[in-house]
A and B are shown apart, each in its own frame.
Chain A
């Protein structure tokens, strides 16, 4: 991409006055979108294929959600090494869960592994790959000092097209957490709360009736559509307030 292209993109999206902040925000948005896609995939697996998550899967999901907290804080509060550090810690916790699961399954050579595979690898293996990439990525971004020196205060305090995009992504992620809590953990999964209380869950949760492949994707995407509507409404409200 040439300098002129980058300038145009920066102006068009009104994302940041500073070039380093602009690129850093773009990387954070891409990371957040990637994490949402990963979590949407697991949500689809649950509702589309009827695969209930095992306790170790839930630990890894929690690590994955924690991983998203760093980019969200960077985008909404402003870029800071502390936020990247939080993501690294979340990645370490998630990696502990996925490493545990990998070790359990390679202990017995005849063990076929748990759950479905993607491109020949189980989901917990992909989760470990994701966590390791996140640790490396965050470490590299911490070493890039220019965005931190710019004194960025986040998109909430700087109106522009980036704001509804970021808010939409954060609401999408939040709604997925809500869906897990109240639909999966509450109703479909024969309910974790009554079954496990605040402690751990059954080791081999029973599969449930699924919505099917298409139904699963519609369920996941409809959460995204609701998030987009919420972001649009919030943006409209903020603009109306700033106009007064």
Chain B
């Protein structure tokens, strides 16, 4: 989950620097966020968090 924030920071820097692949990186980070959610859903966690 730490990585999500690192990538968002790179995305912000990319927007400032005008890197054209930044939208793709943002999309990849959204996919990674979804993956984290999916992993969390399959965890044997108590019904609260």
Contacts and interface: CB of A to CB of B under 8 A. Distances in A.
Interface of A: 54-56, 58-59, 62-63, 65-66, 69, 72-73, 76-77, 82-83, 86, 89-90, 93, 96-97, 100-101, 104-105, 107-108, 111, 114, 156, 170, 173-174, 177-178, 180-181, 185, 192-193, 196-201, 203-204
Contacts of A193: 2
| Prevailing SS type, chain A contact patch | helix
A164 B39 CA distance: 40
Given A77-B18, A203-B43, A55 B12 contact: no
Nearest to A202: B49
Q: Which 7 A-B pairs have the closest CB atoms?
A: A203-B49, A62-B33, A181-B5, A174-B12, A54-B49, A62-B4, A93-B30
| Prevailing SS type, chain B contact patch | helix
Nearest to A83: B23
A200 B40 contact: yes
Contacts of A177: 5, 8-9, 12
Contacts of A203: 43, 45-46, 48-49
Interface of B: 1-6, 8-9, 11-13, 15-16, 18, 22-23, 26-27, 29-30, 33-34, 36-37, 39-41, 43, 45-49
Contact of A59 (B15, B37, B45): B37
Q: Which of A62, A111, A200 has its CB near the most chain B CB atoms (within 10 A)? A: A62
A66 B46 CA distance: 28
A198 B7 CA distance: 12
Contacts of A76: 15-16
B45 A73 contact: no
22 contacts: A56-B37, A58-B1, A58-B36, A59-B1, A62-B5, A62-B8, A69-B26, A72-B15, A73-B15, A77-B18, A93-B33, A101-B49, A108-B47, A173-B12, A178-B9, A181-B9, A185-B5, A196-B2, A199-B36, A200-B1, A200-B40, A204-B49
